[in-house]
Structure 1
């Protein structure tokens, strides 16, 4: 018989991972989307493709790539281990990184669409009056894009909440540490705990439905 603590543990871990990952991916996407609207990079197509790649790749492929990148066999993984004091894979932070990577494309595309939807003459007029780029971004672009900002964050939050494959590959399924709701559901089904799995599934479906409904309303008003 599963205790209340065991039942709510993956819920707590999922929310912690999702909140952290959604904010990290949101900030990264915000910077990338703003940079892409200001100038075209020399390798613009390649960069855009790289940003959107996690959206179309199988989660297991994304997870394997992160496992190779963050593992002890890579120089980056060795550097992180020296800096961190322990291997990064199969930790809570590994789950956050996996969720951040898969949530980033949705947020990036939403914010980029929002930034491109404005009349560029507004920013040009501000420049003629001596406004700096950060002032244009702060006082013109962000206020005009607030619906896209909220929608992008919600979509990223929902994607991070439902992440399974990449998280399982790079963070594992450690109860109370890296076991999120999707991985807990998988384990419960494998163990024949149908009622527990169904409870978690309904919880995720309801929460995701509410998030998607809000995002649709926000985009419709944008």
Structure 2
């Protein structure tokens, strides 16, 4: 059985462009037989709390330290999120650009799954990603136009960051389905969404 992990992070619900793209991508993957099972996590409707001092200390315990009861549930959530990541063959990530980066909801998920000794490890020759043999598809939405421009180099801390994080943990097969210029008027938005949806329908294994 081939499993898709589908992540949405936009809080805009039915008005979200990135959610429309993740839905289209997931539909294509299912109808073309590339995935059989879908694990869906809505990071906005069911948000993951950000790291705090108590949780970080429990995730990196000092020798002989005991785990406080107050963080055991959060540690169990970490295990669940990492298990979902390893169990997936394809990961689809809905990632709108917010202030040149990603939504805080998605960053919280990344902070839980990017863990030394679990999804990557340090070696004598440098870090090594442990989440291998998978592919990822980023459903990217942006109000402005960045791809191929000087603004991409200076201000894209969204797609570039996600590719960097995914590659760091071992996922190097990454494709971007992008709708940008969404804030440039209704006509530009419709044109960008139509093109991105069409691109999602061309996905092949």
Task: Tell me whether the two structures share a fold, i.e. TM-score over 0.5.
Answer: no
More strand by share: 2
Q: TM-score, normalised by structure 2?
A: 0.27
Q: Hey, which of these two has a bigger chunk of helix by percent?
A: 1
Q: Could you say which structure has the larger radius of gyration?
A: 1
Which of 1 and 2 has higher RCO (CA within 8 Å, sep 6+)?
1
